[in-house]
Amino acid sequence: MEEIWIEKYRPTNLSEVVGQSTVTTRLKNYVKERSMPHLLFAGPPGIGKTTSALALARELFGDLWKHNLHELNASDERGIDVVRGKIKEFARTAPLGEDGFKIIFLDEADALTSAAQAALRRTMEKYSRTCRFVMSCNFSSKIIEPIQSRCAVFRFRPIKSEDLEKYLKFVAANQKLTVSKEAYESLTYLAQGDLRRAINGLQMAAAAKTDITPDVVYQAVAAARPEEVKEALQMSLEGDFSGARERLDTLQITYGLAGEDVLRQMHRSVRDLEIPDNIKVQMIEKLAETDFRLSEGANSRIQIEAVVANFTVLGRHIQKE
């Protein structure tokens, strides 16, 4: 069975990491100097944090990288016992080869408990001669300040659309796929800077057809076209409550979208509407309120209809103006 594409096409060196040239340039300097401090990688998911950490280890240690890198996913093992046991045990042993240190890579470090993070502070200092820590997280605010102050912090940014498209073309060429320009635009629109999501979307579409069009993409990833959602919003603002409600119902049935998914796509489409900013502000405020209600367990169908009804009322203010 073929390997998942996000693993099959994962970059193996820092030069291949997509869309993070500022970060990789600094990391290459550490490789050149054969020395580095503790590192903290922060940013949204799917933008190259884990890949950069593994590529850094490969370039530092060469063939011995697997022996000198200890990878832990903090979301699975996040208690204080892990810090006192596995991490401490690995940190105190000498590295293989000529390099003076090993690397402990803590993926999703923002899932570590407060007690585990507190215990980690002393371990980072005590074994700094033989071990360096590389931590990745989605939210750096969840990492306690004492640990942040011990690390060089790298901020990863969402990947630009042109970089996403370039890498998708590389994957498509290797997989011998025919992908239209509009399909690439659809994949980058849905990915929102997340390369992992973009590659997964391409693989799902390729499972349906080797000749990939926007229709294939949206059906495969179960997302509505932006123009369809935008049309539903415009109908509600023009006073056609029943038409807008039916259009959103159809989207949920056709694509199998959850209420939260519909709200997210509505939120993205609001920005593209040609209406006064004060109306946009009220629409986004209503979407935020509904998003909170859904997170608390409210009925998604009723809440989405309430949003459409609210937008219909707002549309009357636009017509009066």
For each of the domains in the chain, give its residue range(s) and CATH number, in order of start.
Answer: 5-155 (3.40.50.300), 161-221 (1.10.8.60), 226-320 (1.20.272.10)
**Would the annotation count 142 as a binding residue?**
no
Give the pLDDT score at 74.
64
DSSP category for residue 79: S
Determine the Cα angle at 261 with ends 258 and 262, to 5°: 90
**Would the annotation count 37 as a binding residue?**
no
Cα separation, 62 vs 108, in Å, equals 25
**Would the annotation count 193 as a binding residue?**
no
How far from each other are the two terminal CA atoms of the chain, in whole angstroms?
Answer: 61
Give the pLDDT score at 183.
92
Cα separation, 160 vs 154, in Å, equals 18
**Sign of the CA dihedral with 222 first, then 225, 226, and 231 last:** negative
- The long-range contacts involving 122-126, CB below 8 angstroms and separated by at least 24 positions, are 123/83, 123/87, 123/88, 123/91, 124/38, 124/150, 125/150, 126/91
Give the pLDDT score at 306.
92
**Cα 97 vs. chain centroid, distance in angstroms?**
35
**Tens-level pLDDT at each residue, the chain (321 residues):** 467 888 888 888 898 999 898 999 999 999 998 888 999 999 999 999 999 999 999 998 888 888 888 888 766 666 677 677 777 777 777 777 677 788 989 888 888 888 888 888 888 888 888 889 999 999 888 999 999 999 999 999 999 999 999 999 999 999 888 999 999 999 999 998 999 999 999 999 988 888 899 888 888 888 888 888 899 999 999 989 988 988 888 887 777 778 888 898 899 899 888 888 888 999 999 999 999 999 898 888 899 899 999 999 888 877 665
**Would the annotation count 49 as a binding residue?**
yes
**Would the annotation count 103 as a binding residue?**
no
**Would the annotation count 50 as a binding residue?**
yes
Amino acid, single-letter form, for residue 126: K
**Would the annotation count 210 as a binding residue?**
no
Question: Is the distance from CB of 46 to CB of 157 less than 8 angstroms?
Answer: no
Cα separation, 243 vs 298, in Å, equals 23
Give the pLDDT score at 1.
42
Q: Which of 150, 157, 111, 118 lies closest to 133 in space, CA to CA?
A: 150
**Would the annotation count 256 as a binding residue?**
no
Look up the pTM and report it.
0.83
